[in-house]
Chain A
Amino acid sequence: MNEYIFSCRGLSKDFVLHTIDGRRVEALRGVDLDILPGEHVALAGSSGAGKSSLLKCIYRTYEPTSGTARLRLRTGELVDLTTLSDQEMAHLRGRDIGYVSQFLRAEPRRGPLDIVTRAGVSRGMDRVTAREAAAHSLRRLNIDEKLWDVHASVLSGGEKQRINLAAGTISSPQLLLLDEPVSALDPANREAALDLIGDLTTQGVAVLAVFHDVEAMERLASRIVLMRKGRIEMSGDPTLVLEVLTQGAHV
């Protein structure tokens, strides 16, 4: 049997809202999930099902309340992300575990080429290689070369999203987390972005993704995991799960 890249057991997240009488909100209730190298796992389920929470718990943007989340590093070492120190986690980010959110984080006065190049450099690439990779990726994602040194803050939502994707994928991590990375793209650009993501899987990157459209899942996923109320309800072959999903929608 293949060795997994990522494996979580009983991953749970409770929020305690001190500003609202200490109310407890259970976002994840014990998630078990293994991902193999080169496997693309798509998370499905209605909003509030816990899809983004799962990604954020793995990336430690949320601190898991309980459970384990093991990641195999490039070095072959196996670490539990839930028990790493903040500094250790910060060091793994980008290198061994990538996260591409729907929105570009505050990057007010830098151009696309600079942003993507810096992302590469921060992950240990030398500047020349990073710049080449950045240019290649931006070209592939149809970012007009005239915009490469224009401050990202003035670009369109779709352009920002593609810059974000280029930055998040410039070096191949062991595990890539994608949270609706193509939600703001028109069909042609969406196509280019999905192609890029598909290639990562071919290169052996394990991907855990949230897409809001079924078509992207059909095209990219090797497995679909259906979530409901913070738990995994079903996991399996894309066609099977999607069939159940669409039937459910008709009920």
Chain B
Amino acid sequence: MTMQKTRRLIDDLADGLRPVPPRAVERRIGTALLSGMAISAVLTALTLGIRPDLMTALQGSVFWMKSLYVGSLALLAGLASVRMARPGTVPPRWLWLSLLPVVVIAALAGTEMMHTPREGWSALWLGKSWKVCPFLVLGLSIPIFVTLMRTLKKLAPTNLRATGALAGVTAGASAALVYCLHCPESTAGFLLVWYSGGIALAGLIGASLGPRFLRW
């Protein structure tokens, strides 16, 4: 009886078959990421405001140091998320590469300290916005996290906690990239602590929500 049902199910499934475009997983996750980032960018412009000196900042190296740092983290975590969207996968070994940008920024922060008198150190690490930065990054990561998780749930992750964590880090890092449009801070020390803090927070939340919200 039930085997007949299975046979009928197979007929139905084969009946409406549509071809799958190549690189479908990459495309879907990429689309989710970009659309989430677009929402975050609009939110940034409407609520926080774009920094008025953006055009000048684009010509300096600080803006690019910040963007490259969080951008590279977003890229690595995003690629790892693509991997995790397939069943039976574990986080890729090359994920340790994401330590590289962290080490570079830490080295830059060290250089900053050497070139700054002791009384300026707290400004290096705390800037003007350390109290809000991680939470703004976290807040901006919400739309991205939601679009990513919805897409991942429709794919086939089997390691839900790791997938959630990577989705969280991807959302956090790309939210931080968007946040660069607003944030006027300019030191590597600030970036290292508070940006990374926001991203890590997003990753932790992702890990805790993964098992519940990614189930299929």
Question: Are A and B subunits of one complex?
Answer: no
Which residues does B use to contact A, with CB under 8 Å? none
Which residues does A use to contact B, with CB under 8 Å? none
